[in-house]
Structure 1
């Protein structure tokens, strides 16, 4: 698949995208069978960005720094930041890093054992230390709320805070918590409190929302990178259907371009 990769660098004296870099990126794309990539280097107030390859092997549309990508798990830092904004606002007495999730989203947050249900905190969810490992197969085709309610059916494989285990579901639980507390979609909260202040105006939650924006704003350059897979037998790329990942919400549904992601990195630092 086409992915947007971000690079954070310091003390860059000149444009890092020279001939040597171009040759290196071209070599990596060939070896890893990636049709294209967008890169950015952030150094203080300076940003360099460049696109390589194509965003769609069928149309041969080239990748530019304005090409939109599904950001997958690079959504998670923004979800954690949104939770931090909510905690920092201090509008909700029960909303701290150590607040229990069962108190924040009540009946929606139920785990396979009573102890974990009662003791998992917001900080635990964001730190991947709840005892629940990743369950990718259980994520597809469900709404945000249903994905969170499915937590009660997932095995707990470690004691609470005993081991780091990557979990998409816990970032979904945090996403639902933000929506419940603010009484607005997570995308609206992120837009108002993160994306707009950072200058990430064409950033969205969900592929369909990004496509709808592009259809209504045909003058916006870049387009959306298609999904691809490498067919080893045919030795060629295969284009995959568009997949709306809105149910992944704050765990992996953000859509943006590398220029805006660079602004997000600068905003975080």
Structure 2
């Protein structure tokens, strides 16, 4: 249903005394119109962005299983004032995780990986602790965040990775676990993360502006992150991935092997040379200069919305996509933990609304990038909001609430 028809319907409801209900985001608003933010809200969006010091925002919407609308607002860099446009690349932060989960499930469908086989049987890394719980961790544990591993070690160059609890007993959000699974996938496929993603997902899905790594073209089109509105400072804040990879790029250029082809062993070999070029504290271990399945995905907002379409219900799926059973498994609760108001699927979180379950994920890198994506698989709709500000969550909450009518508990994560 297009916006003209939606507004006409809303006006008719107003004549019936139902307009206040629609305005509050009641079920009528949800059923009548697409998840495209209204013109009235979009007119207010620049004021909201200014209030929270968020220079740039990208929004894309999926309806009936297709990307139907996208728009950029503001600038990529508060100093240069380059506008956000259709080619702007955002740093997706933890929205990287569901995309990587899709690759893992493709490999499971192909029979080259098993969800419940211990990861140590595929690849035992030298930084893993000698601990019996390490032996129990599986890909299922990683994708539902039940490994017991920490999010990130404070001193990865010297600290062993050890579970805090027995795997499968509670939820512990862990980027470390995702990174370990990434290295398992690397061992299985013989490819770097980006090579695998391009071959299995980005290429077939037409996500031409997506990468987990770095190059000069991505650098030119990528947004810069900005401080939160309540954390003032002079100049641009540190741009972690940009700074680390800009130095790694110099080493890659000398070696003749692009960063997109680097595997873990390449990063190990390059580490001393990179550390010699980097300022103290910027680079500490190989993971700092390697594509990171948990956090380093960059896409246009349209590309991420194209990924959301793969999670929608439909009768037929392409041969390269996950099977329908696998898609359903990704959106099915995988672990029961008393007292939780959200569920963990495989790569996605789920929350119940008045209309049923929605899947979602948020993203935050370095307190300078904040993102959110949510979808309703059965109604074949979704929305993704990418920002380049540390207070971007205050913006994406308002965008998603205005578009969907849902006041999700997950906004406050």
State if a TM-score over 0.5 links the two structures: yes
Matched, 1:86 2:107: yes
Matched, 1:134 2:151: yes
Q: How far apart are 1:12 and its partner, in Å?
A: 7.1
**Cα shift readout 1:65-120 (whole Å, capped 9, x = no counterpart):** 32101111111111111111111111x3xx2100111101134473352x212111
Structure 2 CA distance, aligned partners of 1:25 and 1:248? 33
Unaligned regions of 5+ residues in structure 1, if any? 1-9, 143-149, 216-222
CA contact (8 A) 2:76 2:222 kept: yes
Q: Which of 43, 60, 66 is residue 63 of structure 2 equivalent to?
A: 43
Structure 1 CA distance, aligned partners of 2:202 and 2:171? 29
Give the match's secondary structure for 1:37.
strand
Structure 1 CA distance, aligned partners of 2:231 and 2:92? 28
Matches within 5 A, 1:154-173: 154-173=161-180
Tell me which residue corresponds to 2:386: none
- Structure 1 or 2, whichever has the larger Rg, is 2
Tell me which residue corresponds to 1:252: 295
Matches within 5 A, 1:1-269: 13=33, 16-44=36-64, 45-90=66-111, 92=112, 95-108=113-126, 110-111=128-129, 113=131, 115-135=132-152, 137-138=154-155, 153-206=160-213, 208-209=214-215, 211-212=216-217, 223-230=221-228, 238=236, 240-241=238-239, 242-243=242-243, 244=245, 246-247=289-290, 249-269=292-312
**Cα shift readout 1:218-256 (whole Å, capped 9, x = no counterpart):** xxxxx2112222575767763544333653511111111
Aligned residues: 237
Structure 2 CA distance, aligned partners of 1:246 and 1:240? 16
Q: How far apart are 1:130 and its partner, in Å?
A: 1.1
Structure 2 CA distance, aligned partners of 1:116 and 1:109? 15
Structure 1 CA distance, aligned partners of 2:71 and 2:233? 27
TM-score (norm 2): 0.52
Give the match's secondary structure for 1:40.
strand
Q: How far apart are 1:19 and its partner, in Å?
A: 2.9
Structure 2 CA distance, aligned partners of 1:199 and 1:88? 21
Go from structure 1 to structure 2 and tell me whether the alpha carbon gap of 1:41 and 1:119 turns closer, same or farther (over 3 Å shift): same
Structure 2 CA distance, aligned partners of 1:14 and 1:121? 39
Give the match's secondary structure for 2:195.
helix
TM-score (norm 1): 0.77
Tell me which residue corresponds to 2:249: none
Give the match's secondary structure for 2:290.
helix
Structure 2 CA distance, aligned partners of 1:75 and 1:81? 10
Q: How far apart are 1:133 and its partner, in Å?
A: 2.3
Give the match's secondary structure for 2:236.
strand
Structure 2 CA distance, aligned partners of 1:164 and 1:253? 23
